[in-house]
Structure 1
Amino acid sequence: MTDQAVDTDGVRLSGGAVAESHFLGRTRELKELRADIERAGLDTISGRKAPRARVLLIAGRPGSGRTALAEQLVRQVADRYPDGVLRARLGEPDGTPVPVERAARELLTALDLPAPPGAAEDDLTEALCVALAERRMLLLLDDAAGAEQVDALLPDTPDCLVVAVSGGPLTGIADVRPCTLGGLDTKSALELLTRYTGSVRITVDPRAAENLVEVCQAHPAALTLAGGWLAARPQAAVSDLAKRLHAETDEGAPLGRVFRLVHDHLPATGARLLRLLSLAPAGLVDPHTASALAGCSVSAARTTLDDFVALGLLRAVDSPLPQYEVPGCLYPLLRSLAEAQDRPAELQLARARMLERTVRLLQSCRAITETDNPEAREKVQGMPRSLRFPSPRAAADWLTIRRPALLAAARLAVADGELDTLARRLMSQLVRAMVAHFGTHAAAADLYGIHRLVLDVAERRSLPREKAAALLNLADLDARTGRTGEALARYRAALDAGREANDPYATGRAMESVGGAHQELGDYDRAADWFGRALVQRLARDEREDAARLYGRIATAHTYAGRYGEALRNWRAAVAGHRKNGDVAAQARALSELARVQEYAGRPAESLRTCQEAVEWARRAEDVRLQAALQLRLADTLEHLGDSAAARLHRGAAERMLGEELQEGHDSDSATEHGSDACEIRSAPIED
């Protein structure tokens, strides 16, 4: 494919994409749907209050205009639902049902409500029902594959309304009458054609236009493709297209016949790119995706995509960046043609090019945030101009907009099973980019899903080192969301994988995390034991900083268990370790904890001396918050010793310190969050 724009049958479309048209026809269906909202349900007739939201079902084949009708209905009745409209898509372009867990999570996110990473489907749907119970909202559930999906998301309140779009009935949901769509009425069908062809070509031969509508069975998607084909050929008569379609010998739906005609009249390069769009993750395409699939320049790809929009083959997505969507009704046709006309090796190569391009874009997206790193700046400058982002804000916007496609790309790459090396690189860069731009906490739900995919690949390819890393990351996220039991099981599995891989980092971190989980569960004896095992390994490897930190964790476990003697011994070891390492701030914090335990043990005089020493080291470390906290502890200790005047002095000093810090301003929390290294993917050496 050359760098030149692909024309359609030799004719360049000068007007760009056809503007999105207003809604056509379906007057009777809209009237019936609105009447169905007011219709008394079976519960009302029997004298009971409806326990759940009313469900309106719009059923029809893909391309029949079912989603457009649903959106038009939502626009007409939205003012009755003051809390707004929620939308969820329950089907992938290839027809795969979207997991209820993912749909519920997206809806909770849209409501600005927490959706803990890794939470079970039942927990998320229950949280959604609770959230909607106090609201009057309208839910649009598009592309529902079955009643189970819709039923799991139904609000338990009659004050909400659900508009579901599906290919068939939702058997199992009570009191649902489907509005089944056929073709458009003739007047609306002719108006749809007119928007592409202009009024003259329809009015000069109305019989031919009506014949074309009849051949297309008034199917909206088929008429859209027919109109686009005619718009690209101003000299062609409407009757010519009708005759061509009549001459088609292949039996099948009118959409398939019109689509094959449009495809066959594209130049070879354009037809090939169109078929390859069946590989686009989540059916979302941008110029980079198309460029990588076809092996052409980004500018040529964008021109061709705009031409496809004009032909009705793609929909332009309302987005700050150029993005397009493959209509769901065309996806199976594209995939069928690709499998028939392109060799499997060519399709796999195109998929690999697309994943490689995505990896490089993610590398650039992350590198632009490392403004203080000369190596990162040099690496960005070495990339082609088309892969560079002008600013961190532009990179973050791209990552946000392309997020659904990027996550879908990771899922598809792992499901493919033949591109695991690329899949691992893609997931590694996706994690790093998300952490760099959004932070570990904000991206936790997406990171959880990615780490599960990493675990799938590691188990499939027998990669114990990556398995250990994925398990550690998943367990960390479990622990943060209160699922300590699940976290403990994963930490133990990570320990086994780390030992299998002979990875001291993974085994050490897993042992320490097992201890932390036991401590969270209140089993302080086991916690101290596991911290001790981790300490032995750190000492054997002469990892002094980690050893000093582990002395503190052992001391904390003993403190919780009330064994103050053991706690004091380990805190003194931690203080000595930090002193040898030259870590002034850590030494001050360890002294602070030592003073706390001395106070618990009934040694206020010792606690006072230790606390004063800790204040001095905190001053040297320039840790104002710790100094203030220690001053308050000194005040409490002095009050216990009966020196109220000195206690007031220390408390006043603490208040002044905190006041000065507030005036100077705090560093952004996001800086600390973005710097977190909690979600890393450790793998065999691969290019970063």
Structure 2
Amino acid sequence: MNIGGPRQATLLSALLLEQDSIVPVNRLFEALWDEDPPRTARNQVQICVSSIRHRVSAASGRNLISTQSPGYVLRLGEDTLDSRDFETAVAQARRLAAVGEDARAVEEYDRALAMWRGSALSGIDSPLIQRAVVNLEELRIAAVEERVEAELRAEPRQQTIGELISLTREYPLREHLQALLITALHNAGRRAEALEVYRGTRATLIDQLGIEPGPELQRLHLAILNNDHMQRSNAHRDPAALSGPATAYRRVTQPQPAASRPEQPGVAVPRMLPAAVPDFTGRRILLEALVGTGTPPASSVRIVYGRGGVGKTALAVQAAHQLAASYPDGQLFARLRSGNRQVNPANVLERFLRLLGVDSSSIPEDLEQRAELYRNLLGDRRVLIVLDDAGSEQQVMQLLPGNPKCSVLVTSRRRLTGIPATSRHEVPAMSEDTAVELLTRILGAQRIDAEPEAVHQLCDLCENLPLALRIAAARLADRPHRAVADQVERLRDSSRRLEELDHGGLGLRASIALTYDTLSPDARRLLRLLAISDSPSFASWVAAPLLQTDVHYAQELMEELAEAYLIDTERTSDAAPIRYRFYDIVRPFARERLVMEEGPEDRYEALERLTGALVFLAREAHIREYSGDYLLPTSGAARWALPHPLVDRLLHDPLAWYEQERHCLSTTVRQAAAAGLAEHAWELAISCVALYETRSYFADWRETHEAALRAVCRARDQRGEAAIRYSLGSLFMFEQQNTPAMRHFQQALALYRKLDEDHGAALVLRNMAVLDRRGGKLAEAVERWEEALAVFEVVSDQIAEAHVLYSLAQVHLDRGDDGAAAHVLERAEEICERTGNHRVGAQVQKQIGELRIRAGELDRAARAYTNVLTATRTTGDQVGECYGMIGLATVDLRRGDGEAAMRALLEALTLAEVTNDHVAHCRSLLALVEADMAVGRPETAATHAETAVRLAREVGANPLIAQTLVARAGAHEAAAEAQQARELLYTPPDERRSRRRPGRHTGGGGHPAAG
């Protein structure tokens, strides 16, 4: 069937890939135009859908595509897709293979793979579609691998090797395919060819990726080198099992009792400590704590714990070697983890008993009996036992001796608080100096000294972890031509960091995976979902919306991750709640697992829930800060409500909560905007203005709103666009950028009037009037304020009403109409007292203070300005605090205390400079001019006046410019008079008379007396 042009084919592909699911219009935009849809994108999508509907209906007689907010859904009914049939057939083949019916499984795999007729969705070059195609291709090649495995188990044919050779040439970096080929060649007796395939694969991996082969290939290689026979009867799914490499690997690596040791019980003296690290660096204090005087206290159990890769094992082994002489009856060592599994303590006891001289036939089967025999053998001996990488208390308890003469060192990634221990020692990351020392030992001083800054950055990127540092240093040692700075650049790319920290069998990914695999399923999922957020840190409650669970259980999971050293805790102060953050090295791992184990829809929904929770909290904080649901437009964004007791605890100080979540809020706005959650993005951005305005975080204000504006414009969300443009206009207004502010206000006003939203339009008019006043257009300003006031009274927005009354009072004060100003200020003050709004109340009190000064009521003015300071310091409003200081300084000046005024004004000037508020800065300077004049410093007054004029002109406020010009003229006049007075004071009397009478002549020359 002819679908139409490429655009129709792309759109239909997007719908088919998500059959029976709603595909949002935004995702169709992305499929067709990536990140740059045209303004007519929605209309074009509608036309394409209509065209496809018509063609499909003509061919099938059915309408398969329906419109369902927020997009379209394609339902095939009883029909199905090739991809679904393929997945069904593969699932059936896997079931057959799982019960040992490999021949039938091969037939089912063949049936599934026969459905492929070339590349999926070929000819469609949309990046979104191609990403989905990659997933389909991965399913196909996985099925190919599984088919070959089944054939090798069932009845391998000679042609299987030929198929594998072709596949490995097509996919040279798929290690599992290479392992299958090696297995097939070995089974066919072609051992030399199998080894050559391994060598070629290893060379390719090192050359193209800079990594060694993984454990599967390494085990196979070792098995072949040891000439193991293939154990076809034991073969299942793992090609390593086909060749028996696990047996070979154990035989090569498992320590065996020395031939010279006596084999009688109670006589053998095991010396099982692994070699100490030759270049062990630092850890002096920890070593001293572990070793002490050389003989630990009786019944010593010391636990060494810390995050993976921090050097716990190296430290414990180093300490054990120093202690060994104090334990003449031997030293036992056991790793309590094998791969991603905890080793059964029964197996450890079996090995220990053999090392202590017990014959295999005499070792009991029961765990308790083995533990009793173990304790009995150690009953009168001095033995040091090192238990490395313990996973739980239960694993360790049976391995503890009963003899107080023995000593135990335990290393773990957990604190193991359930074990009665003599001492516990947390191993932190190295200090930077020690990290540099370690790198110097591996790479040499010359190479380290040549790039000190790059070395510092390398240590930082490796988080000063010994394992990460050793891997990075090993890579550099293998590549002497590579600069340290080059390695730093590779590590900066978080998507490549784990690959760069993998070398020669050592790897951060494997180390983190060991810890990850020990977590509970919910904790593993939480670690993955936490990686959705780009925020540098997060509160404990975020786990609740991410996992859709209650906050108490969420907290337990957060603590589980922290105890496993996969996330870290941080606290800015004793009063601040604990926050969590990823270790930089763990975040890439979590993101890998997120993509591997969570589907796109799951990731999208988790981000939506997290953003919805932040919208809920930010809106509630805004309401509490403003004492009501004022100045805050709402969207249709879904919210995730948190329990009231938690909300009350979090938001008892709304601005403090905003401050704690500042970076998380800004980051989430940008993420929501990029993900197409336009309503979430713009409402969250608007809700944060309470913080941005109070603390003058203008950069955050701009970045979040510009991101939200792009999102709402893409989504054609006019309400969102109006709200964001109104807020952006307010930002430019605060920054004294009047032209862009007015442009945004005009666009917002037009949108609100188009939407018949009078309240939004009135909010915009209120701020446009502020710009009118700045430009000297008082009549226009008053007209707009009165129009807005009428709306606020109707909709009962009392805070906005108080704002307008405050502004009108300022106009009356400017005109000298103190009576009218007092009337409107009384109304504004009453509103603020009734609503409990401190922010607007402070502004009203400032105006009342100015009114009282003009009336000569200095005590009442001082009380008003003190109220301003109390309110602004409570909310952290530094700009408002600056105005309060200016007001109190003015009262001091009127009382004749110029020095007190000067001190207050210098403090106000500092606040104005810190907040970068030009108007407050200018007002501070104007007050300083008056204070300078009062204390007899006219020249200083002139300097302050010049700066005030410059700032007023930058602001562009005509009334303020006029005031600064008047102040400058007065200051310069006073400075000139002061200068003339000084000159007359130090001039001789005759010369002074001459200067007073410049017209006198001294003789017939006719020249005036110069004097």
Q: TM-score, normalised by structure 2?
A: 0.33
Structure with larger Rg: 2
Relative contact order: is structure 1 or structure 2 higher (C-alpha 8 Å, sep ≥ 6)? Answer: 1
Q: TM-score, normalised by structure 1?
A: 0.46
